[in-house]
Structure 1
Amino acid sequence: MLESEYENRLEFFRQSILALPTTELKYHLFLLLTAIEQTNTQQTRDILAVSIDLTLQCQQFLILKQNSPELRNQIHLVNKRYDSLARLINKYDSNFVFYPHLLTIGCAILAIITGIFFAILGGVTGLATGIMNQQNPLKFFALGLLVGLCMGGAIGNRAPEYILETPLIRQLRFALRGLTENLRHLSTSKKSFHEYLDDVLEELLKKNFDGNQEKLEQFLQSRTSYQVATHPAQFVSKKLKGYVGQHAFIIIDIPNRKPFTLEFATSPSKTDKKPKQCITQETTGQTIAEMMALHRKMQETHACTYHYMANKMKPGEIDCLAYVLKLTDGVNQPRPNIQRFYQQNRVGNFLAFFINKLSTFTEEQQQRSSLLAAPPSHEPK
């Protein structure tokens, strides 16, 4: 296939993703697109063809209501297209047959080893910091121990895949895992996105527009804006600012309501606090409503609980910024050009180096995964 023809097929895939109704699925499909767009080989051409088939089938599936008689058949067809994609990716992964379980065991063992090493390193660093700052050294020791254990475990867990697998296979497998979980949830969920959107519109009508349908329609059709912002992440303590990256979130400001956030967090971020990075994006009221509904839908599977953080969260891959990107991708908004690690101290930069190096997709790849990126972020004056 000529390069120009391959680029045309890639663009058709991109437009097919954009044509999907509001859904988290777009985020994972865009990652799949990013993985194959730089290489025109028989392998990537085959994957592209099957990915397009899956996306077109998802278009028909996602427009159906929850009680539609066609729903079961559409789920079967989507699963059939997905199985074809999974088999194809496994076919091109020469290591798939004999080492997946060994790789899992190796990742777990190395995560324990590096977790202990970084925990000791973090504890010593925390102790020294506490003494130099003339504060409680034991508290800083405990914080350093905890952060070192978490970060070291995350680094060790990814290292074997980084060493043993090619970048393409790593990216394909990461995108496939996301597709697997999201499609499984969509096919078994008892409440559809349409129902969440109806709930949001009803809530807006009653609480923000005093039951005036005309005012609600005017808001939905008019231009408005939202902000994507970051604060220094604190993880488990304010003392960790500058060590563990930035916490990303979306600020929504609609009539007759205080600004509120859509985010992956255990508690809401303060909207009156000066952000470190901030991007304002114009859109319509309808898009804002759909973003709110998608956020509620995603809380079924991505609620920020301690169980989720311990079992699924991976800094640089599955975190607060990834959550924001799922929301913006889901409603066809540009990806915000903000950084996970911004104005870090030396220890923070040290951790950021390993996290960025071992992440499946680079920040540059993540920024170009969907639409044109929004303007560069800045620290508000």
Structure 2
Amino acid sequence: MTKQPLTFWAGKKAYEKIRRLGLSAGDVQVMAGAAGGPKWLVLNRLDRAIFGNWLAARKAPLFLVGASIGAWRFAAACQKDPVAAIARFEKAYMQQAYPDNPPPEIIDAELERILDELLGGDGPEQILSNPAFRLSILAVRCRKMTGTDRKSRLIPGLGLAAAANAVSRRGLGLFFERTLFYDSRQRPPFFRMNGFPIRRVVLDKSNLKAALMASGSIPMLMSGIKNIPGAPAGMYRDGGILDYHLNIDLQPGGEGIVLFPHYAEKLVPGWLDKQVFWRRPDFSLMDNVLMITPSADFVTRLPMGKIADRNDFYTFARQDDKRMDCWRQVVDQGRHLAEDFMEAVETGNIRNRLRPISDLSRR
């Protein structure tokens, strides 16, 4: 490929530090993972390079926080052999197949199958005993009419939440509580994140799988997850509802960097903001962030000129083999992202490739 596959977007503090010193693995104190379903596939080879190579000798604590598929990616990365776990996740995720208009129960069962493959026999134990990595999972606890799977109440409840969100993101706090499931060995630097009502729940072997399922449970498509062990009673759903692209102050200490491998050259604060075209991310929360994304040129070279997404299930309806082939090509092309990242950090060339993250406001 003649053009560079990756673009590096840096907040003010991250920009200044990396311009001076480059980027080492030890600089990264937090990693962020966005929601987005199949969009994660383009990052698969990059994740393998970061966790299987660049961070393989990590000794100091690294705090990983993700919503939905971002949390699932990091659950694989926190296992004893991250490359093997990511490979299991990729294979299981690729093999999804559904009838036309599947009910939530079928999607629930398929996603649980994928998660079981990702976790293997003792994934929770490996994750919670990782010597360096500390996993946090974002979900939401539903309030009022959103705390049910009955469509007669859920649909109007989501409608009211969307209307409140159109006025102000804070309005979502009437309908959802942010829930942070975290590794209790060390409180993450973002433990006191604000902006929404929040519940904090310690992760353990009894609730880690349920927390991951909740974090990816899309309203209407999937069932909510009820009464997670150790968490307040209620129904829990997709963390992306509030934190789709993690436009959050993740508060690394000092000059620490928040590394955010992301699939898109844009930041959408919450899931319901996808339709709120006037909503802009708060870049004041991103000062320490280095976001790395596939470049626009790279994306045009992918099958169909785009990364994989949930619409592919409709594009390739009843043609699962074709969809899987398309997704495999996306994953394979992702090796260029991995190669470009390793070259940029190892040579120090990353210093000359930074772009201000605030430039994303024009996209």
TM > 0.5: no
Task: Report which of the two structures shows the higher radius of gyration computed on alpha carbons.
Answer: 1
Which one has the bigger strand percentage? 2
1 or 2 for the larger relative contact order (CA 8 Å, sep ≥6)?
2
Which one has the bigger helix percentage? 1
